[in-house]
Amino acid sequence: MQHLKHMEVGLVFWGEKNPAFTIRQVKALGLACGHLGFAGHVRLGSGIAQQWKEALDENHFTVTTIWAAHEGESYADIPTVQRTVGFIPPETRDAREARAREVIDTGVALGIPSFACHIGFVPEERDSSDYNAVRNVVRRICDYAGDRNMSFALETGQERAELMRDFLADVDRENLKINFDPANMILYGTAEPIPALEQLAPWVVSVHCKDANWPPKDVPGALGTEMPLGQGVVNINCFVAKLKEIGYKGPLTIEREVSLDQEMDDRHKEGLSHLQDIRDAIALLTRLRDEA
């Protein structure tokens, strides 16, 4: 793994078709690091891991976190997220725990130090069967990752900062950390992200730089709207300043969904637009990082 500068700007991208092409696309943006995600339908194994390792080594590219998404998850609206995402649905819990171990094994093969995923809405009631089941899954994944010298970073946003903090204490594993996504707190209408970052600072090992607007008040259960970085209500200037204040030195990893494993043409208007959003975000984050 190459040495990264403090607050190196990176990108979330997804591994699906062609590792070498995908890494070259990310590198073409002027980036040297990122988070690599695998959707639930993507088959993993030693052959896939070797292809990614060769692509990363050849391009001198560093993946700082490996991500797992799961088949059947939907982010259509808040009630759907509550029903389908992470380890909440009991009928898929075992399969998703097994998938997490599979993604961790791929991360180990690639020398990636951190695993992350959405665990779903943690129930408020600590004596509920779902709360206990999810907590125990997280404990087992932490132990599996820890035996392989990896951390397990929980994504923020679906719970209040206080609940997330209490859940971390209840799981009681040293390698359980946080990937802090300020926009998710806006999208779910959970909390103002900057005060939440202050509360969760001791556990933050990575961040997603993403922006959003609050959910509409007249549509119950609706999610907020993701926005290009700097155009939502996160206040990315204050976010980066707060990261500096709490002593965060890790990558500033942009999250803006766009397919990078195929050529873009005029049929991919949204992809082209999001690609420009990423370029603008790189420029913005570079400026904010370098400001005194």
Compute φ and ψ for 191, nearest 5 degrees. -170, 165
**Given pLDDT bands bounded at 50, 70 and 90, which one contains residue 149?**
very high
What type of residue sits at position 276? Answer: Q
Quote the pLDDT of residue 17.
82
Name the nearest CA neighbour of 122 among 77, 155, 98, 95.
155
Confidence band, pLDDT 50/70/90 cuts, at residue 273: confident
Helix (H) or strand (E) run with residue 47 in it = helix 46-58
Return d(Cα 249, Cα 236) in angstroms, integer. 16
Q: Where are the beta strands (DSSP E) in 84-156?
A: 114-117, 151-155
Q: pLDDT at position 46, please?
A: 77
Contacts of 152 (CB under 8 A, 6+ apart): 114, 115, 116, 138, 141, 142, 145, 146, 173, 175, 176, 177
Predicted pLDDT of residue 157: 86
Contact criterion met (CB below 8 Å) for 170 and 135: yes
The residue-averaged pLDDT of 103-115 equals 97
Contact between 131 and 125 under an 8 Å Cβ cutoff? The reply is yes
The predicted structure's pLDDT at residue 274 = 84
Q: How far apart are CA 203 and CA 200, in angstroms?
A: 6
pLDDT digits (tens, 9 = 90+) for 46-83: 799 999 999 999 999 999 999 999 999 999 999 999 99
- Is the predicted pLDDT of residue 2 greater than 70, yes or no? no
**Rounded mean pLDDT, 269-281:** 81
In this prediction, residue 267 carries a pLDDT of 44
Query: For residue 285, how many other CB atoms are within 10 A of its CB?
Result: 24
Distance from C-alpha of 268 to C-alpha of 210, rounded to nearest angstrom: 21
User: β-pairing, 225-227 with 9-14?
Assistant: unpaired
pLDDT above 50 for 248: yes
Residue range 122-150: mean pLDDT, rounded? 96
Closest-CA residue to 11 (of 249, 262, 203, 258): 258
Extract the tokens encoding 29.
Answer: 């943006």
Q: Give the model's pLDDT for residue 268.
A: 53
For 8, residues 6+ apart whose C-beta sits below 8 A from its C-beta are 32, 33, 251, 252
Distance CA 60, CA 31 (A): 11
